[in-house]
Amino acid sequence: MKIKSMLPRSAFTLVEIMLVVIIIGALAAMIIPRLSGRGEEAKTKVAKSDIDANLATALKLYELDNGSFPTSAQGLAALRLKPSLSPIPQNWNGPYIEKEPLDPWGRPYVYVSPGEHRQDYDLSSRGKDGTLDKGEISNWQ
């Protein structure tokens, strides 16, 4: 007659589970403080990318089609909808962008054409604090 050997069941003990939880907690305590300031840094980089590449490309395409950049009164809305304000572009071939151009903080970009800092146009974001003097991200800096 054969007797089945009683093998111990494989399972985690409470001590092992507690040890894993403590290790994960210690790792989180070391990593989270290092990542805490990265959110604002990432938003700043997104705004700079929008200003220097995404919106700049759309504005250049608009200018190629129409011979000039949208006026300050027409604003960046001219990249989504054909302007009804003078000068009305005759060769508008948009939309040049798909959605309303908002900075990463949810505010509209500041657009001035002709520019005060550059000849063609000035484009900036008010940054985290919402002011044009401190924390501003622009195409002329």
pLDDT at position 95 is: 93
Please write the tens of the pLDDT for every residue from 19-77: 888 888 888 877 776 666 677 888 889 999 999 999 999 999 999 999 999 999 999 99
- What average pLDDT score do residues 79-92 get? 93
Look at residue 5 and tell me whether its pLDDT is greater than 90.
no
Please write the tens of the pLDDT for every residue from 92-113: 998 999 999 999 999 999 999 9
**How many CB atoms within 10 Å of residue 107?**
13
Per-domain boundaries in the chain: 39-138
């800096």: which residue's tokens?
A: 141
39-138 belongs to CATH 3.30.700.10: yes
32 by Cβ neighbours in 10 Å (0-12 / 13-18 / 19+) ranks as exposed
**Distance separating alpha carbons of residues 64 and 97, to the nearest angstrom:** 15
pLDDT at position 127 is: 86
State the pTM of this model: 0.72
Q: Name beta bridge partners: 102.
A: 108
């974001």: which residue's tokens?
A: 125
